[in-house]
Amino acid sequence: MVGVKVERLLINYKTLEDFKRFQAYGTQELSMLEDLQNEIVEDDSESPFYGIYYGENLVARMSLYKRSAKFDHYFNPPQDYLVLFKLEVLPDFRGRGYGKLLVDYAKESQLPIKTNPMIRPDANEFWKKMGFEMASYNIERDFGENPFIWMPEGVKEAIQPPAASSQQPKTKKTKKEDK
């Protein structure tokens, strides 16, 4: 794709305004805006976001965060890995391979990747096409997430302890449960 490239996004008022067009705009973006307003971060600081511009317009983005091996509960052996989140292409720019371009960029690091697809009927299909697989669900680790993982050669999924895959949470017992 000529002229289309992935860039690391800078935190400034234009970027934060651009972010408002994405569905996953939330607490993270609000916090970035506040940090900028309070001069906790400088204008044009590097952000954890990467994106694709079409002319002046940000039309796709994702966030990448590198976690250290000591927090790894997804891969075997435990190792540094990337958490990829808020991957999103604006509706008018879908079907052009921009999502794949972002995912390929993340894969270049050759670190395993964990993501949590947004709830969209075709999300699972997309991640499978990208070479990701559905991780075994573990309530204590994943809560409401739908973890998908990508593993470079030689990396396997972490083995889940049998107890962790149980459906029995240690939730409260209250008087309402005497049915």
The site for a second copy (CB under 8 A) is made up of 5-8, 11, 23-24, 26-28, 30-32, 35, 40-41, 45-48, 63-67, 82-83, 85-86, 105, 108-109, 111, 116, 118-119, 134-137, 139-140, 142-147, 165-172, 174, 176-177, 179
Q: Which is nearer to a second copy, 24 or 93 (CB)?
A: 24
DSSP element (H, E) containing 27: helix 27-37
CB-based contacts of 139-145 (< 8 A; 24+ apart in sequence):
139/164, 139/167, 139/169, 140/164, 141/73, 145/116
Shortest Cβ 114–a second copy spacing (Å): 9
User: Cβ of 89: how many Cβ atoms within 10 Å?
Assistant: 22
CB of 7 to a second copy, least distance (A): 6
Q: DSSP code of 104?
A: H
Min. distance of Cβ 5 from a second copy in angstroms?
7
Q: What is the pairing mode between strands 113-115 and 81-89?
A: parallel
Nearest to 95 by CA among 53, 128, 64, 126: 126
Q: Of 50, 59, 49, 58, which Cα lies nearest the Cα of 95?
A: 59
Closer residue to a second copy (CB): 96 or 123: 123
Q: Are 62 and 49 spatial neighbours (Cβ–Cβ below 8 Å)?
A: yes
Q: Which is nearer to a second copy, 153 or 168 (CB)?
A: 168
Q: How far is the CB of 47 from a second copy (least distance, A)?
A: 6
Least distance (Å) from a second copy to the CB of residue 20?
Answer: 12
In angstroms, the CA 116 to CA 145 distance is 6
Residue whose CB is less far from a second copy, 63 or 130: 63
Measured from the CB atom, the residue of 35 and 96 that comes closer to a second copy is 35
